[in-house]
Amino acid sequence: MQEMMKNRAYALLENGTVDRVLGWTRGEFAYDMTPAVFRNADEVKNGFVYNDFCAANLSKYLVKECRAGGKILVFLKPCDTYSFNQLLAEHRIKRDMIYVVGIECFGKADVEKIKEMGIEGITGITAKDGIYTVSTIYGDKAIKPADVMAERCLACKSKKHVVYDELIGNEGEVVEDCNRFDMVAKLEAMTPDERYEFWRGELSRCIRCNACRNICPACTCEQCIFDNPNSGVSQKAAVNSFEENMFHIIRAFHVAGRCTDCGECSRVCPQNIPLHLLNRKFIKDVNTFYGDYQAGEDPTAKPPLGKYEKNDIEPGEAGGAKE
């Protein structure tokens, strides 16, 4: 896959289709690739890397890249293409400034899961014939990709690219029975007090680093209200737990109907807070109240929370209030 991607990058840079390439560059270890922009074939040759640990969704970088002028090639996994479309729908990126190469995805690996298996002192990871060989200072270990697959990939909603100029690999299908709402259903079945306890337990670990917000392709406000010193709510750290909750609740509301469920927020959280559950609750509710809707699927679709119809559900009608 990496070689095919590099070859397309060379060719498209060479024939002038694009001026830059957005991909990943080599890390210090086998699993810590950094998103990077490559400006010529030499840079691609020396630095470009792609493997199962290149997990970042590159769509959001395009907001910045579109302001830099020229045309940029971006490699997108199926889930990333939903974010791309959503950014298009919100006029945050310009379609004609971007050349999208869709890449077939078999699920990403999560190095945390490898470490959780008790594998320590990792010096290298190679993939061959559907097996990862993890070299460590204590010897080699063979592991199955399925055992260390990223959480979000275990509930992948679509292997289909909703937008691309060309594809590398095969096109997949939307995954109908992806079970992504299972945990949401469990939370819904709890009493309000139990649910409150669940979320307090999770959110109390938050260090307000803002990684979830800053990585989120739906969070592209020029200045977030939480960064605006004149907003009155811009506290960098929570004075109390109420504020901590508010940051997450406000953010979840703000991305409701626009969150594509890309899973980046949960992936980057240094405290392993399952933020995707908040968003999936909104997605599930939108589906229930307004009919099935997948943000990013169709950039021309009218967003359910951005239009009004006479028979729209009324506040309180769905229940859920504490008795």
Does 218 bind ligand SF4 (CB under 6 A)? Our answer is yes
Residue 259: how many other CB atoms lie within 10 Å: 28
Residue 259 contact among ligand SF4, another protein, none, beta carbon within 5 to 8 Å by kind: ligand SF4
Nearest distance, CB of residue 202 and another protein, angstroms: 8
Q: Does 273 bind ligand SF4 (CB under 6 A)?
A: yes
DSSP one-letter code for 312: P
Structure tokens at 35: 């998103």
Q: How far apart are CA 55 and CA 31, in angstroms?
A: 10
Cβ nearer to ligand SF4, comparing 35 with 145: 35
Nearest to 19 by CA among 80, 88, 99, 93: 99
Which position among 134, 150, 269, 277 is part of the footprint of ligand SF4 (CB under 6 A)? 269
Binding residues among 138-197 for another protein as defined by CB under 8 A: none
Min CB(96)–another protein separation in Å: 23
In 3D, which of 159, 156, 155, 162 has the Cα closest to residue 301?
Answer: 162
Taking only Cα atoms into account, the Rg of the chain, rounded to an integer number of angstroms, comes to 21
88 binds ligand SF4 (CB under 6 A): no
CA distance 26 to 257: 35
Residue whose CB is less far from another protein, 14 or 120: 120
Partners of 125 in beta bridges = 134
Q: Which amino acid is at 221?
A: C
Answer with the entry of ligand SF4, another protein, none that 61 interacts with (C-beta below 5 to 8 A by kind): another protein
Query: Smallest distance, Å, CB 183 to another protein?
Result: 14
Give me the DSSP letters along 29-78: SSS--EEEEE-SHHHHHHHB--STT-----TTHHHHHHHT-S-EEEEE-H
| Site residues (CB under 8 A) for another protein, limited to 209-228 | 209-211, 213-215, 223, 227
**Which tokens hold the place of 43?**
């840079």
The answer to whether residue 306 forms part of the interface with another protein (CB under 8 A) is no
**What is d(CA 291, CA 296) in angstroms, rounded to the nearest whole number?**
15
Q: 236 or 322: whose CB is closer to another protein?
A: 236
Minimum CB distance to another protein smaller for 56 or for 184? 56
The CB-based long-range contact list for 125-129 (8 Å cut-off, 24+ gap) reads: 125/30, 125/31, 125/53, 126/30, 127/51, 127/52
Q: Which of 7, 40, 123, 126 is close enough to bind another protein by CB under 8 A? A: 123
Give the count of residues interacting with ligand SF4 (CB under 6 A).
27
CB of 85 to another protein, least distance (A): 22
Task: Determine which residue in the list 238, 246, 252, 305 makes contact with another protein, applying CB under 8 A.
Answer: 238
d(C-alpha 140, C-alpha 138), whole Å: 7
Note whether 271 binds another protein by CB under 8 A: yes
Residue nearer to another protein on the CB measure, 13 or 162: 13
Q: At 1, list the tokens.
A: 């896959």
**Amino acid at residue number 2:** Q
Given the rule CB under 8 A, which residues bind another protein?
Answer: 27-29, 32-37, 56, 61, 116, 120-123, 137, 201, 205, 207-211, 213-215, 223, 227, 229, 232, 234-239, 267-268, 270-272
Q: Which residues bind ligand SF4 (CB under 6 A)?
A: 206-212, 215-218, 255, 259-265, 268-271, 273, 275-276, 279
